[in-house]
Copies of this chain bind each other. A is one copy, B any other.
């Protein structure tokens, strides 16, 4: 493994290997504190994303690596003068041993990986993938349950929400997954995604009311809806807010996930509930990113895989 560009590029074996490393790091972090010693990682962000950037940077530091960083390459850098992404990468590869790339174009990480001598990790690409978010989502789920055979409800913005799409890609590596999709008409999962899910053996059930989601789903994955993406006739529809009251009908082992940031689509009265895993997800993000960089460094620099 040299690059991590898409959830489509990872096999179930590799995924489980990654989770095993992340589990080990979460338990015995100290043993990994020199894993990236003498290693320089560049966080090259064309769009600001403080959380994702700081999560990667924390991961690098916990592994003993060093950082060079730019928060807003689009505004600040040679990009403004008209430099191509490929040229920028061919320069930065001379400064760093690994590049974490956040960019506004869907194919940015793929293009970068094609010209780069050093590994590229996709930290979010336009409306496309945000694959390490999906890794931390599934890592957090598998801490609670075996993923094979789970039932999961996904809610909110299923059309534009890239975290949802990356998550579904990863879940398709597992068996007998049932997905309940609950969204307003204009934010439903696009048909091509549904077709892919079906072709991969995932059962996809469209819901038009919250009540259609069974009480015994294993996970509810709530997401943020951007008002400006709703069609005019839907503006009157109030956004669905998950709260203590409407969540009370679910089982003791129905866990709540959210990629964050949250606005108000999950009420804070659920924050203290043991089944609310969204902050755990954020914290797990550091471990899974540590695991990913650890594995890539080993594969690429030590074993030449």
From A48-56, A186-194, A291-299, give the one contacting chain B.
Answer: A48-56
Let me know if B94 and A77 touch, CB within 8 A.
no
- Kindly state the separation between the CA atoms of A264 and B81 in the bound complex, as whole angstroms: 11
Shortest CB–CB separation between residue A148 and chain B, in angstroms?
28
Shortest CB–CB separation between residue A54 and chain B, in angstroms?
5
From A67-75, A161-169, A212-220, A244-252, give the one contacting chain B.
Answer: A67-75
Shortest CB–CB separation between residue A98 and chain B, in angstroms?
12
Residues of chain A in range 281-296 having any CB-CB distance to chain B below 8 Å: 282-283, 285-286
Does A263 sit at the interface, judged by CB under 8 A? yes
Question: Given A78-B50, A92-B54, A260-B78, A71–B68 Cβ distance below 8 Å?
Answer: no
For A94, the closest partner residue in chain B by CB is B283
Residues of B near A88 (CB, < 8 A) are 261
Number of interface residues of A (CB under 8 A): 47
Interchain residue pairs A-B with the least CB separation, the first 6: A94-B283, A48-B76, A78-B261, A50-B77, A83-B261, A58-B95
- Kindly state the separation between the CA atoms of A236 and B18 in the bound complex, as whole angstroms: 57
Let me know if B72 and A61 touch, CB within 8 A.
no
- Kindly state the separation between the CA atoms of A93 and B58 in the bound complex, as whole angstroms: 11
Let me know if A68 and B58 touch, CB within 8 A.
yes
Residues of B near A94 (CB, < 8 A) are 279, 282-283, 285-286
Shortest CB–CB separation between residue A66 and chain B, in angstroms?
4
Residues of B near A262 (CB, < 8 A) are 83, 87
- Kindly state the separation between the CA atoms of A88 and B40 in the bound complex, as whole angstroms: 27
- Kindly state the separation between the CA atoms of A262 and B286 in the bound complex, as whole angstroms: 36
For A73, the closest partner residue in chain B by CB is B50
Let me know if B50 and A76 touch, CB within 8 A.
yes
Shortest CB–CB separation between residue A293 and chain B, in angstroms?
15
Does A57 sit at the interface, judged by CB under 8 A? yes
Residues of B near A66 (CB, < 8 A) are 61
Does A175 sit at the interface, judged by CB under 8 A? no
Let me know if A70 and B54 touch, CB within 8 A.
yes
Cβ 8 A contact of A51, one of B78, B96, B261: B78
Let me know if A54 and B78 touch, CB within 8 A.
no
- Kindly state the separation between the CA atoms of A29 and B269 in the bound complex, as whole angstroms: 47
Residues of B near A82 (CB, < 8 A) are 261, 263-264
Cβ 8 A contact of A54, one of B57, B68, B87: B68
